[in-house]
Amino acid sequence: MVCRVRFALLTVLATLAIPASAGLVGPVHAAETAEAGGAERTAAFARWLEGVRREARGAGIPARTLDKALTGIAPIDKVIELDRRQPEFTLSFADYLARAARPERVAEGKELLVRHHALLREVERRYGVPAPVIVAMWGIESDFGRRTGDYPVVAALATLAFDGRRSRYFRQELINVLKIAQHGIEPDRLRGSWAGAMGQCQFMPTTYLKFARSWHGGGAPDIWQTPADVFASTANYLAKSGWNAGHGWGMAVRLPPGGLRTQGTRRSLKAWAKLGVRLADGRPLPLRSDPVATLVRADTPGAEGEGPLYLVYGNYHVLTTWNRSVFFALAAGTLADRLASK
């Protein structure tokens, strides 16, 4: 689970002027310089990796685990490229939602709810998180297990930690993925996104150690290939993050003519209804006993004040702990609602 963060892309341009009379001397020298630079980087990475080994041994990770996981790894240039890439466009919420909750995903999700009905019912009973919410997270994070990433997570995290831009964060994630290897997951099975998110629920290593659960017990949670562990781990995360089994997450709404300047204010549904707020389709708000709701707008950067409006409850904020994107939380809740619909 990777939060949406924007980074500036720094490009360094170097121009080498070579006289025409120099023949092949210039290109050969450039190649030798590049080769020397590569050798220096390799040596620096090896020295840095020894420091990681010492830290990992101090954390109680056995040498045999470190030998399996770290021997032969090298920085992955593509990972650095992806980490530093500046997004070229901004997706509107309408486009984001159309992709996240597209009709084909809704149809497949409903089929999977039926296929895994008995298991999901037991997971819901244990953790208090509705089955449609669990399946919605599964669909958005990995397209129901089809897109989990194929980067070797140990090498990817080592690359990011060695790069130095966010070394402290990624170094801790690297230590934690080594702990996962220590607990029984073979390093070559630890594959995921370029940023280290793993499995069908895309947990970072720290999240895995804290929240991943083996449904049947007796081994390390397998969030790569075992749906029961994916469901249990997803539900456990949401439950431990404060999911309230007695309430929904929110609803799309519209304001009365003339609008309201109350975004971010917490009120009961009854109070919102008195102010003239209605459901997006024009129907009255459901006056049930949900807790207070907050008005949020799904604004696209650069077009503030134009996005659709939602009244959201505490469970929406739980979804934002999974991914701190407003778009993600609203789309996950909407997809869950569509999966639950008849």
Beta bridge partners of 191: 152
Q: Which runs of consecutive H residues, i.e. helices, occur in the chain?
A: 25-58, 63-70, 77-84, 93-100, 103-115, 117-127, 131-142, 153-163, 167-182, 205-211, 227-240, 269-274, 314-322, 326-340
Mean pLDDT, range 87-100, rounded to an integer = 84
Who wins on pLDDT, 156 or 88? 156
Q: How far apart are CA 317 and CA 315, in angstroms?
A: 5
* % of the chain surpassing 70 pLDDT: 87
Who wins on pLDDT, 282 or 40? 282
Residue ranges of the domains in the chain?
A: 250-312
Provide the edge-to-edge strand list for the sheet that holds 278-279. 266-267, 293-297, 309-312, 250-254, 278-279
Who wins on pLDDT, 252 or 6? 252
Token pair belonging to 167: 């070394």
The answer for residues whose C-beta is within 8 angstroms of residue 76's C-beta and 6 or more apart is 151, 152, 155, 156, 159, 194
Residue pointed to by tokens 């390799």: 42
Q: Is the pLDDT of residue 9 over 60?
A: no
Token pair belonging to 88: 């070229």
Q: How far apart are CA 182 and CA 62, in angstroms?
A: 7
Q: What does the pLDDT read at residue 55?
A: 98
Q: What does the pLDDT read at residue 303?
A: 74
Q: Is the pLDDT of residue 2 over 90?
A: no
Q: How far apart are CA 252 and CA 16, in angstroms?
A: 58
Q: What does the pLDDT read at residue 342?
A: 83
Q: How far apart are CA 332 and CA 248, in angstroms?
A: 12
- pTM listed for this prediction: 0.85
Burial of 320 (0-12, 13-18, 19+ CB in 10 A): middle
Phi, psi of 296 (to 5 degrees): -130, 155
How do residues 203-237 score in pLDDT, each as one tens digit?
999 999 999 999 998 789 999 999 999 999 999 99
How do residues 24-48 score in pLDDT, each as one tens digit?
345 555 444 445 567 888 999 999 9
How do residues 297-329 score in pLDDT, each as one tens digit?
998 877 777 899 999 999 999 999 999 999 999
Q: How far apart are CA 130 and CA 270, in angstroms?
A: 25
Q: What does the pLDDT read at residue 218?
A: 78
